[in-house]
Amino acid sequence: MSCRRCILPSSDGAGLNSARDVKSEIRNPKSERSRAGISRRAAIGLGAAGVVGLAGAVSLFDLFSKWRESEAPADIFKGDAPSGELWELWQKRGWVKEGRHYLKLGRNVQCKVCPNNCILEPGDRSHCRNRINRDGTLYTLVYGNPCTFHVDPVEKKPLFHFLPGTRTFSLATSGCVFRCLNCQNWEISQKKPEETKDPRGEELRLRPPLPASLSLDQMSRLSLFPEDVVAVTEALGCPSISYTYSEPTAFYEYTQDTCQAARVRKLKNIVVSCGSIEERPARDLYQFVDAAHVDLKGFDEDIYQKLNAGKLQPILNTLKTLKELGVWFEIINLVVPTYTDNPDTIRRMCAWIAKELGPDQPLHFSRFQPQHKLTHLAPTPVETLLKARDAARAEGLHYVYIGNVPGLEGVGTTWCPNCKKAVIERDIFAVTRMDLTDGKCNFCGTKIAGVWKT
Ligand code: SF4
């Protein structure tokens, strides 16, 4: 799968349009400046200098109870916020919106959307590349300007227990809160908005009636605001919208507003995320979300730091929050040789899932393929994946899958946990047989966990 293309189905169902990613020729001359983050000492100084205002829904309690995170701000892009003509054009397009969940620290700001807790001085750009401090206000640059969209089978997310056999309108902007060495979508996740979109030229909004195709130039100028996403999804006959490919947390405001607009039209919302989000923004967002796919990239803090430049504990917290909120979610674990293939760690992860989330929690093990900064590693041996699946089953998990291994018999099948018969069979992302009625096994009547009807 490549995220460098946008594909809308033609009337005969074939993918038609494509546009490779766009590098804006308007480059901020400061963009090559130092990426160094501010120091711990500086961060403390900024906080102590005075909290003069609170933005979003963050309280003083949050500020002080999260002080540890505030002491460890993420790497940011110093002085790299767009300015001058570029900033004006970006605003004119409507691609700028004030951020949610942030603190004002004098003229500095601290984003509280994800555990990176970026502290930005005026003119700085965030770790996720999408947020800037402009004159003491935090803005997102990725509102209504996706750099890619597709129509995908919902199984491709992967979600195997959520409206099987349906298609989902899927979109992404640039940017990510992580720096995964193995990222398969680094061409958008590790880019700035200005590297994927171009605000010059005639304004273009994608709305029905849908064009037969889009040129590269059109794709780079295209706006797709929340109400447009909903209209396009309905025109395409998709029952759901997926926020995916890069990281929805990095385009939080756009995701949240689109989710709300979709709910009004009774469309479902699917968030495909690394799960690295603070609890409060998570609760604010997931109240509008119907299903989530969460990457649990490993079960070791050191490996999370090395492989993803992230932290494990916030992901575990998010999984528990989703469970509490009643959002349907499935977990994917990419088994990366020498990083996340330790059998004991996999077993501990499965035990945690079974204990904290329950035996009906679907878990997908996925095969690593060499890419991005890990091209020197071999693909995960199939034997390793089969052992991981066996470990998960031994810990009591009912629904365990293996992905990214075409032709491996039965690894994408849903088995009834009671009578052990196949209730859903799949060929990669296509459902080939279903023996479920009203979410119950046709052979023994056992309820199969999931969301089976719109
Ligand atoms: S969402 Fe972006 S700006 Fe906010 S804390 Fe995370 S990385 Fe930083």
| Beta strands 204-205; 222-223: pairing state | parallel
Tell me if 298 sits within 8 A of 320, measured CB to CB.
no
Any atom of ligand 1 within 6 Å of the Cβ of 70: no
Quick one: pLDDT at residue 50? 27
Average pLDDT over residues 421-425: 98
Cα–Cα nearest to 434, from 418, 414, 453, 449: 414
Q: Please, which residues have CB within 8 angstroms of residue 197's CB and are 6 or more apart in sequence? A: 22, 24, 95, 145, 147, 174, 220, 221
Tell me if 357 sits within 8 A of 395, measured CB to CB.
no
Tell me if 325 sits within 8 A of 286, measured CB to CB.
yes
Any atom of ligand 1 within 6 Å of the Cβ of 250: yes
Any atom of ligand 1 within 6 Å of the Cβ of 114: yes
Q: Which atom of ligand 1 is nearest to the CA of 252?
A: 1
* The model's pTM: 0.86
Percent of the chain with pLDDT over 70: 84
Cα–Cα nearest to 149, from 67, 76, 47, 222: 222
Q: pLDDT of 193-215, one tens digit each? A: 999 999 999 999 999 999 998 98
Q: pLDDT of 324-361, one tens digit each? A: 999 999 999 999 999 999 999 999 999 999 999 999 99
Please give the distance, rounded to the nearest whole angstrom, from the Cα atom of residue 398 to the centre of ligand 1: 35
Structure-block tokens of residue 428: 């990669």
Question: If you take atom 5 of ligand 1, which residue's CA is the nearest one?
Answer: 117
Please give the distance, rounded to the nearest whole angstrom, from the Cα atom of residue 115 to the centre of ligand 1: 7
Q: Which atom of ligand 1 is nearest to the CA of 116?
A: 5
Quick one: pLDDT at residue 454? 82
Q: pLDDT of 135-172, one tens digit each? A: 999 999 999 999 999 999 999 999 999 999 999 999 99
Q: pLDDT of 88-145, one tens digit each? A: 999 999 999 999 999 999 999 999 999 999 999 999 999 999 999 999 999 999 999 9
Mean pLDDT for the chain?
A: 87
Tell whether the model's pLDDT for residue 416 goes beyond 50. Answer: yes
Please give the distance, rounded to the nearest whole angstrom, from the Cα atom of residue 20 to the centre of ligand 1: 26
Cα–Cα nearest to 367, from 182, 221, 152, 191: 182
Tell whether the model's pLDDT for residue 301 goes beyond 90. Answer: yes
Any atom of ligand 1 within 6 Å of the Cβ of 118: yes
Average pLDDT over residues 174-181: 96
Ligand 1 pocket test, pick from 38, 119, 131, 318 with the greatest ligand atom count within 8 Å of Cβ, gives: 131
Cα–Cα nearest to 332, from 306, 358, 362, 305: 362
Average pLDDT over residues 221-229: 97
